[in-house]
């Protein structure tokens, strides 16, 4: 079964965007091998707000050449050609997607969808590019909720100071 991978850039203090959604800290000269990253996946799974933001960058999603799956109860599939809309039965829809043949699935965001799928035990891997910055506030890597135990599989420091980390999700349990 192909793996569902939450792959994001984050700050050392655990934010994936600034308080106003800023991503200026994600430096283009970071040395991240985006081509290799893209080659691993053939499907992008995302929430509706992430889709809306991605669409404001013309050609971004289509240039990635992947199947696009958007979780939304409001998006009209008739108005978004080339997009598969999941409007109900999230666990079943994601299970079916994972059971299809193909490459791994990129959980592209947002973090709220990550939290939902993590709590359902459906996220296999968390891959974080940690940029050398503390944002001090912003959109959390993981919204509030249960603790999740991880297993470090890979870590590599790029000359830019970006850390490429890859973890398997071992399990979740309520925290506190």
Which residues would be at the binding site for a second copy (CB under 8 A)?
A: 11-15, 18-20, 22, 25, 126, 128, 132-138, 140-152, 155, 157, 161-163, 165, 167, 175-176
Query: Cβ closer to a second copy: 95 or 133?
Result: 133
CB of 129 to a second copy, least distance (A): 12
Shortest spacing between CB 98 and a second copy, in angstroms: 21
Integer Cα distance of 13 and 94 in angstroms: 30
What are the residues whose beta carbons fall under 8 Å from the beta carbon of 154, sequence distance 6 or more? 164, 165, 166
39 CB burial (10 A radius; 0-12, 13-18, 19+):
exposed
Q: Which is nearer to a second copy, 53 or 84 (CB)?
A: 53
Residue 61 Cβ vs a second copy, minimum distance, rounded to whole Å: 27
**Closest separation in Å from C-beta 123 to a second copy:** 11
For residues 114 and 123, is the Cβ–Cβ distance under 8 A?
yes
Distance CA 149, CA 151 (A): 7
Closer Cβ to a second copy, 102 or 121, answer by number: 121
């Amino acid at each position: 079964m192909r793996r569902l991978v939450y792959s994001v850039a984050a700050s050392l203090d655990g934010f994936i965007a600034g308080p106003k959604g800023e991503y200026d800290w994600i430096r283009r000269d970071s040395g991240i091998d985006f081509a290799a990253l893209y080659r691993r996946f053939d499907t992008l799974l995302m929430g509706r707000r992430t889709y809306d933001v991605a669409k404001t960058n013309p050609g971004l999603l289509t240039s990635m050449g992947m199947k696009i799956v958007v979780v939304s109860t409001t998006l009209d599939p008739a108005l978004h050609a080339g997009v598969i809309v999941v409007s109900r039965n999230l666990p079943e829809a994601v299970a079916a997607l994972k059971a299809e043949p193909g490459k791994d699935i990129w959980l592209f965001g947002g973090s709220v969808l990550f939290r939902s799928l993590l709590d359902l035990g459906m996220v296999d891997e968390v891959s974080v590019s940690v940029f050398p910055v503390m944002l001090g506030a912003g959109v959390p890597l993981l919204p509030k909720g249960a603790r999740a135990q991880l297993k470090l599989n890979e870590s590599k420091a790029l000359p830019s100071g970006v850390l490429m980390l890859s973890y398997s999700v071992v399990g979740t349990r309520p925290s506190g």
